[in-house]
Chain A
């Protein structure tokens, strides 16, 4: 199947700092990518839809000024967690639709720990 990568796979940062997570579609173009958050032993919750060349669409309750999304190219979307707090610690996963959108492939996830 198509490959979606994320970088970094794991990051530890101090409270108040910002962290950037990259999501790349490696062998296909994605005008749309999705960012999800997963708490331990829980399901995935959609945070926002990243749109190439336009502003991201955020789900209700997700602070757009805290979770900055930039879809700079057809293969790259970035999520920046600004002024991170311990409650932002989570597993962040991106996805990208492939082949007319029927198939959606997920990145391997990024484990963020804020100390």
Chain B
């Protein structure tokens, strides 16, 4: 079955880069996503990547995909205190399908 895993917690200092990692088991995964959730709020789509891509960059965010190792990472450059939140990776087999989520990584940014 599908399984998506993330480390639980990451702490960085303001201004440093943050790297949040995710592994998945289903090699059929076609779309991979990163969402941000702040306390008591819904999920904000940060970015997504197709499985035929290795990298995607969007302003401070860089997504790297190693399809061979089924490893996805999200790098946040110049991390700010406002980036403190829980970050979920998710995968989907097809466009418009349900998402399978990882357990979430809590990012804490210290001033």
Contact = CB atoms under 8 A, between A and B. Distances in A.
B104 A34 contact: no
A106 B42 CA distance: 6
B45 A49 contact: no
Given A43-B88, A102-B48, A109 B101 contact: no
A108 B31 CA distance: 22
Interface stretch (B11-19, B57-65, B90-98): B90-98
Most chain B CB atoms below 10 A, which of A34, A46, A103, A107: A103
A69 B79 CA distance: 40
Interface of A is mostly: strand
Given A1-B45, A106-B45, A109-B42, A32 B102 contact: no
B45 A109 contact: no
Interface in A63-83: none
A32 B43 contact: no
Interface in A88-115: 93, 95, 97, 100-109, 111
B58 to A, nearest CB: 12
Contacts of B94: 101
Contacts of B98: 34, 46, 49
Nearest to A99: B95
Given A101-B94, A102-B95, A104-B33, A43 B103 contact: yes
Interface of A: 1, 6, 32, 34, 42-44, 46, 49, 93, 95, 97, 100-109, 111
